């Protein structure tokens, strides 16, 4: 059996012996240097690495935990309170009983940054800083997951940059 190939220069069909596979030769028509590939029988398929089921399950578990964490933060009804039963949460945030919407505040920050309204962005960051621990956790969760589509007209890399800036301000 022989190896069939086309010359890259003159496009003519060349037949080479099987033992020439993997070597260089000259086109008999135009004398151009040609690489002769291995015969299809000898090349064989390269086996793929098996899928690691344990790793796949671990990744799925981490995704699920991350999503549950983000949902729990988004739907937090009442912040934790100090042991002395005052109406101020342990993180020093909004009074107890008032729902603080981290998602809306972060969205306000991102949109204000997008529109170059730095005073509004600073105000949103200040409101978030009052619940700094929970706000940091929420923003870190956003950076780990896919960004919500609520950040209109903000490309994901830019939005992530804004979130990193916010995270620095909350530290």
Same domain, 113 and 95: yes
Same-domain status, 11 and 70: no
Do 35 and 78 share a structural domain? no
- For helices 118-129 and 156-170, angle between their N-to-C axes, nearest 10 degrees: 50
Give residue 72's pLDDT: 76
At residue 10, does pLDDT exceed 90?
yes
Using one digit for the tens of pLDDT, what is the confidence trace for 56-68? 888 888 888 888 8
For residues 160 and 91, which has the higher predicted lDDT (pLDDT)? 160
Asked whether residue 115 is domain-assigned, the answer is yes
pLDDT in tens, 80-101: 444 444 444 444 444 444 566 7
* Mean pLDDT taken over the chain: 78
DSSP 8-state assignment for residue 100: -
- 78 and 124 fall within a common domain: yes
Say if residue 130's pLDDT is above 60: yes
Same domain, 70 and 6: no
| pLDDT above 60 for 77 | no
Does 48 reside within a domain? Answer: no
Q: Are 6 and 14 in contact (CB under 8 A)?
A: yes
**Are residues 115 and 70 part of one domain?**
yes
In a shared domain, residues 70 and 145: yes
Q: What is the domain range of residue 11? A: 2-43
Distance from C-alpha of 70 to C-alpha of 165, rounded to nearest angstrom: 19
pLDDT(20) > 70: yes
What pLDDT score does 18 carry?
84
166 plus 117 within the same structural domain: yes
Same domain, 133 and 163: yes
For residue 33, pLDDT beyond 90: yes
Does 128 map to a domain? yes
Q: Is residue 28 part of a domain?
A: yes
Q: Which of 132, 82, 80 is nearest to 105 (CA)?
A: 132
**Within a domain: residue 102?**
yes
Reported as a pLDDT band with limits 50, 70 and 90, residue 150 is low
Q: State the Cα–Cα distance between residues 134 and 106, nearest whole angstrom.
A: 12
Pair (21, 84) in one structural domain: no
Number of independent structural domains in the chain: 2
Residues 86 and 155 in one domain: yes
Tell me if 162 is assigned to some domain. Answer: yes
Q: Are residues 39 and 92 both part of a single domain?
A: no
């Amino acid at each position: 059996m022989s190896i069939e190939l086309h010359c890259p220069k003159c496009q003519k069909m060349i037949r080479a012996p099987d033992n020439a596979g993997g070597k260089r030769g000259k086109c008999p028509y135009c004398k151009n240097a040609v690489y002769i590939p291995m015969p299809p029988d000898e090349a064989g398929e390269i086996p793929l690495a098996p899928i690691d089921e344990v790793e796949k399950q671990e990744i799925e578990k981490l995704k699920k935990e991350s999503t549950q964490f983000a949902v729990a933060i988004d739907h937090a009804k009442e912040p934790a309170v100090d042991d002395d039963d005052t109406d101020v949460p342990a993180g020093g945030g909004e009074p107890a009983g008032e729902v603080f919407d981290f998602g809306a505040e972060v969205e306000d920050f991102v949109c204000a940054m997008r529109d170059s309204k730095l005073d509004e962005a600073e105000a949103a960051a200040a409101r978030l800083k009052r619940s700094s621990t929970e706000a940091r956790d929420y923003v870190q969760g956003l950076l780990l997951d896919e960004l919500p589509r609520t950040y209109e007209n903000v490309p994901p890399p830019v939005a992530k940059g804004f979130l990193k800036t916010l995270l620095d301000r909350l530290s």
